[in-house]
Amino acid sequence: MALKAKNQRLILALLALAAIVGAALLAMSALKDQAAYFYTPSDAKKDHVETGRAVRLGGMVQKGSIERLPDGVTINFIVTDNAETVPVTFKGIVPDLFKEDSGVVAEGSFQPDGRFVATNILAKHDERYMPPQVAGQMHKTESLDK
């Protein structure tokens, strides 16, 4: 018993749909441990980010907060979005553009004490650059203050 052409097309469409869904599930599974979400300090405090989970923390380096430890490679600083602050520790060489009152994105994880331990620091490339999420958050903060 041969299938009619209409039924054959329906079966092929269902097989194609199943293949697309399967590929999407495989891609999501592969990215599950590799994806790093971006948080501002306010988002991190509000969402209670899971400790030990790889995330990105973006904001501005608070003025006067950079502290270099005697070992010469460890620095502590504070990331702020003008609403909340997060203390950050980084061990390594920071980019040349890393400085106070400039934009920064730190990759790492939160610790149980609330400190963020960064494994990588990305500094801004232009004095007018600010991560879009931070710019939006700072705009909201300024609007609420008025």
Pairing relationship of beta strands 116-123 and 103-110 according to DSSP bridges: antiparallel
Of 98, 79, 96, 97, whose CA–CA distance to 88 is shortest? 79
Separation between Cα atoms, residue 65 and residue 116, nearest integer Å: 14
- β-strand pairing of 37-39 with 55-61: parallel
Q: Tell whether residue 125 is among the known ligand binding residues.
A: yes
Instruction: Pick the closest to residue 86 from 121, 67, 68, 113 (CA basis).
Output: 113
Strand partners, 89: 76, 117
Q: 125 near 131, Cβ under 8 Å?
A: no
Of 101, 110, 51, nearest to 77 by C-alpha is 101
Known binding residue 129? Answer is yes
Binding positions: 125, 129
Binding positions for heme: 125, 129
